[in-house]
Amino acid sequence: MGRRAGAVTVSLDIWHLDIPEFLECQTESGDQRRKVYDLFPQIVIVDAFMRRVVAKQDWTLVDPYEVKQVLGIELAELWGDRFEIAYGEIEQACDEGRLKLFNRINARELFKMAMRTQVETGLPYMSFKDTINRANPNQHEGYIPATNLCTESFSNVVPGQYSHTCNLVSLNLANIGDDLPMHCETSVRILDNTIDLTHAPFQASQNHNDRYRTIGVGAMGLADWLAIRRLGYHHKEAISELFETIGYHTTRYSMELAQ
List helix spans (H) across the chain.
19-23, 47-55, 64-71, 80-95, 107-121, 129-134, 180-197, 203-212, 222-228, 236-258
Which among 216, 209, 129 is positioned nearest to 164, based on CA atoms? 209
Active site residue 133: no
Sequential DSSP letters for 122-143: S--EEEEHHHHHHT-TTGGG--
Active site residue 152: yes
- 247 DSSP 8-state letter: H
Burial of 145-170, coded b for 16+ CB within 10 Å and e otherwise, reads: bbbbeebebbbbbeeeebbbbbbbbe
CA distances from 26 to 15, 30, 119 (A): 20, 10, 12
Angle between helices 64-71 and 80-95 (to 10 degrees): 80
- 26 DSSP 8-state letter: T
Active site residue 138: no
State the Cα–Cα distance between residues 208 and 250, nearest whole angstrom.
Answer: 21
Residue 220: phi, psi to the nearest 5? Answer: -135, 165
Residue from 150, 166, 185, 207 carrying the catalytic annotation: 150
Residue from 152, 241, 244, 256 carrying the catalytic annotation: 152
Residue type at position 243: F
Task: Report, as residue numbers or ranges, the catalytic residues.
Answer: 148, 150, 152
